[in-house]
Every structure is written in structure tokens, then in C-alpha cells.
Structure 1
Amino acid sequence: MSSEPAHSTSLGGTRTLVGLGRLLWEVIRKQFTVMFRYRVNFAINVATMYVFFAIVFFGGQAVVGGIGGSPQSLDSTLNGVIVGWFLWTMAQGAYSGLSGNITQESQWGTLEQLYMSPFGFGRVMLLKAASNVIQSMAIGGVILVLMLVTTGRTLSVDLLTIAPVVIASLLSVVGIGFVFAGLALIYKRIGAVSNLMQFAMVGLVGAPTADVPALRLLPLVQGSALLQQSMRRGIRLWEFSAEELSVLLGVGVGYLVCGYVVFKYCSRVARRRGVMGHY
């Protein structure tokens, strides 16, 4: 008799995992369906990020040429700019996606339906965050190809190293995204404040960890440093020290957990105030 409850618990856990897997697939499918349905807007967003990089690249060449320098003098920094822009592009999407999801669901009038999901509102939003990361990495890959073709540069692209480093790096900005998503539940329109983080992320991606090691505890900083080493110097994942990887994962998980806790608190506040489905 004692084995029957254990068997039921195991079966229930398996069904939950299967259900979450199906839900994740549906969330991803919906996200990419919306992206391709509004493909003109998607193409403009990608083109905008690429054009900004092209302005920096060609503008830098023009400035160097104007002062009598050689374009080759940019070689030492150009690879770093490409890698940084690659990470910033993905971080921007992963960070802003959650608050955008909240705003979008509020406009569609489906936010309260998500809250009543049998999987729980928190789990649904975690899966949406995972979908945002996948979408951001796909867009980042497109931008990376465009940058390499434009500049004629060659970087080490080892997916077994880049993918884990990028995912761990984006966990921290997803945590910040949860904070702003929680604020969006309560205050609805927070775009002006949220956009400020995009400029802050530029500084985080380019932070000098060699000069100030404590900066590694900030979002993106450690991930950016490891990604630079991997893509510019060809260092593999297993060649990083245990300390470097521990800081990367610890910072990512720490910010994610803290951000999720804030989001859960904000969702309770929104429910208590009766503004969950309002826009």
C-alpha cells in the first residue's frame, strides 16, 4: 500500500513535466507566429540594430581616415565591438520581452486568463522568459552574421561554448526584466523607465573587469568578459576556471531569483488593487 501513493506522486510529476513541455512549445510557437505575422515590424527592428552598428563601424573608419590613420588600427577593438554588440542585442530582447509581454497581454485582455492558468502565473511567465531568450538568441545570431559579413572579420563561433555562456549571461537581465514586468502589472506604462536600462546595458557589456574585479557581480559583466575570450581568442568552455564559471552562473541565478521574487510580490499587489487586467 505504501508504494501506491509514491507511484501516484511520480505519475503526477511526470504529467506536470509533460504539460510544462507542451506549454513551453505553445508559448514559443505563439511568439514566433506573432513575430512572423508582423514581419515588417520585426524586419525594421533587426535593421535598426544593424544600421546602428554600421554607423559605428563606417563612422569609425571615416574618422580614422580623416585624421590620417589606417583602418587597420581599428582591428584591435573591432572584434570586441562585434562581440559586445552581439551580446547587447540579445540582452535587450531578453530584458524587455517580459514587460512587453505584460503590456501586450493587458492590451489583448488576456492577462487575467494567464493568471488563472492551472500551471500558475509564475510558471507561465518563466516559460515566456525562456521563449524570449530563445527568440533573442535567434535574432542575435542574425545580427552577428550581418556584422561579420559587413566587416569581413572572422571570430571563433563554438556553439558548445557560446550557448551556455550566453544563456547564463542572459539570466541576470531576465531577472531585471521580471522586476520591470512586475512594475508593469501595477503601473502599466513604464516604457520610459524601462528604456533607460538599454543604455545601462551598454556600459555593463563594456565594463573593465580586469581593472575592477568587483564589477563581475553586476549583470552581463562576467558573461561579456567570458564571451570576449571565447569568440576572440577561441577559449573553450572547459578551459575557463571554476571560479569564472561559478561567478557567471551565480550572478545569473541570483539576479533571476531576486527578480522573480519581486515579480511575484508585484503580482500580489496588482491583484489586491484590482488592476491585474486593466490597461
Structure 2
Amino acid sequence: MTELFFAELKRTWILQRRYPIEVVGIIIVTVSIFYGLFLSARYVAGASFQLGDRLDSIVIGYVLWSLVLFVMGNVANRIQYEAQTGTLEQLFLSQFGAVKVFLIRSLAAITLQLAFVLSILLTIMLLTGSRLDFPPVLILPLITVLMGANGIAFIIGALALLFKQVSQLQVIFQFGLLFLLATPIEASTGFARVLASLLPITPSAGILRALMARGENLNLTHIAIAFINGVVYLALGIGLFRLAERQAKKRGILGGY
């Protein structure tokens, strides 16, 4: 597994080094979209435009959404690409199995992509004047985010195995996640609060906002809920992916496009 991880890490680094314009373009586009929305909101509100820590919460939700999109691309987009190039079947015939290959590939890619996400976050903070905290315990909710994001990626990957083209469905997932991650659902009460704990990545987003935007201490109950949420969605995604793999092999469409 270690050998596979470093092989995928080397592969990802070579691709990023050979196509640097793609990396720079993604960072510029991601930052430009948020800054454009920020300027539009400030223009509409006029001189009274003051967001305070709400701006910090919005920044966290948007950057977190960007990270989730990176993770989803590492699995779902790669499956569609491998199907187009005719190399998808080779991954399923490897000694590691497709699930391990895609999971390790995602972890290797995230190792480098976290630097891109940090660049996006720092640039947005510089442009908007947002001030965020970066406590060491930040790593815990970040791990739960990656677990949940990989779970969603495997769910979309399962659909890609069976239907090959799921780009439009993926767009629906992306904007749905933007709503979940950008909205402070953790501030709700009653049934809405319980529902927020069941939605993917939402508990983790709430913890990140509490730590980085409001400077609160880590709540052990909330982080436990976030870990359970991440594990459940990761297990669900891998389970559905394995089920789709068996169906694709049974129908003889694994290597087709």
C-alpha cells in the first residue's frame, strides 16, 4: 500500500508539473468567482456593508466546497476519463483492486491539492480582509471532511461505472454541496439541527466555522458526530461502488464506453 501511495503521489506530481497552467487557472478561477460575488454584495449593500465573522464563515464554506470538488474529481472524474481512454478495466484487474487504487490515488492527490486550497484561502483572505484562526486541532475536522468527500466521490463513481456519463448529475451534487457547506446549518435548533448532523460533511463544516471563524474550542461531542458522519458516508460510498462494480462486470460494460 505504501508503494502504491508513493507511486500515485509521483504520478500526480508529474501531471501537475507538466501542466502548471491548469493548476494556476483553477486557483485564479476559484478566487475570482468568490471575489466577484463579494464585490457584488458590497456594491448592493453600499457603505453600510459589514459582515464581521459572517464573512469568515462564508469564506470557510466556500473554500471547503473547493476542497470537496477536488476530492470528487479525484474519483468520479477519473473514472469517466479512464472509461473514455479505455484503461478503466486495467485498474480493476490490478492486484490492489479498484477501490484501493482510487482511494490511494485520492489521498495522494489531496496531499498536493491541500497546497492549492491553502493558496486559494490565503488569497481570498488577502482580498476580502477576512481573519481566520488556524489551531492545531483543525486537522481532526479536516480528516472527517476528507472521509465524507471521498464517500460522495465513490457514490458518483458508482453511477459513472454504470452510466459512464454523469457530468450533469455531478453538477447537481456540486451545487447541493455548496448550499450545505456555505449555510451555517449548525446554528439551527430542534429537528433542523438533527437533520444537519445527518447530511454529508455538514457537521465538519460547522466545527471548522466554530474553530476558525469564531475562535471557539473543539467540542468533543460535535467532533464525534462528525467522525461518525464521515465514516458512514465513506462506507456507504465504497459499498455502492463495489455493488456497481459487480453489476458492471455482470452486464459486461466495465470496459465499455
Q: Same fold (TM over 0.5)?
A: yes
TM-score, with normalisation over the residues of structure 1? 0.85
1:182 paired residue among 155, 158, 166: 158
**Paired amino acid for 1:50:** V
Does residue 222 of structure 1 match 2:203?
yes
Match for residue 111 of structure 1? 88
Q: Secondary structure at the match of 1:233?
A: coil
Instruction: Find the aligned partners of 1:107 and 1:37 in 2 and give their Cα distance.
Output: 21
Match for residue 66 of structure 2? 89
8 A contact 2:211–2:218 mirrored in 1: no
Does residue 61 of structure 1 match 2:37?
no
8 A contact 1:87–1:166 mirrored in 2: no
**Paired amino acid for 1:129:** S
The size of the alignment, in residue pairs, is: 252
Q: Which runs of 5+ in 2 are unaligned?
A: none
8 A contact 1:36–1:42 mirrored in 2: no
Q: Note the C-alpha offset of 1:227.
A: 0.2
Instruction: Find the aligned partners of 1:179 and 1:266 in 2 and give their Cα distance.
Output: 9
1:154 paired residue among 126, 131, 140: 131
Q: Note the C-alpha offset of 1:229.
A: 0.9
TM-score, with normalisation over the residues of structure 2? 0.92
Q: How does 1:93-172 map to 2 (within 5 A)?
A: 93-158=70-135, 160-172=136-148
1:227-264 Cα offsets, whole Å, 9 max, x none, are 001111333xxx42332111000000000001100000
1:34-77 Cα offsets, whole Å, 9 max, x none, are 23322222222221111111111111211121xxx323x22242
Does residue 28 of structure 1 match 2:9?
yes
Q: Note the C-alpha offset of 1:119.
A: 1.6
8 A contact 2:204–2:223 mirrored in 1: no
Instruction: Find the aligned partners of 2:207 and 2:18 in 1 and give their Cα distance.
Output: 36
Instruction: Find the aligned partners of 2:202 and 2:45 in 1 and give their Cα distance.
Output: 29
Q: Note the C-alpha offset of 1:266.
A: 0.6
2:175 paired residue among 179, 199, 213: 199
1:102-126 Cα offsets, whole Å, 9 max, x none, are 1122233222221111122221122
| Superposed CA RMSD | 1.7
Q: Secondary structure at the match of 1:119?
A: coil
Moved more, 244-253 or 77-86: 77-86
Match for residue 270 of structure 1? 248
**Paired amino acid for 2:218:** F
| Higher RCO structure (Cα 8 Å, ≥6 apart) | 2
| % identity of equivalent residues | 26
Which consecutive segments of 4 or more residues in structure 1 shift more than 6 A?
none
Q: Note the C-alpha offset of 1:135.
A: 4.1
Moved more, 262-271 or 42-51: 42-51
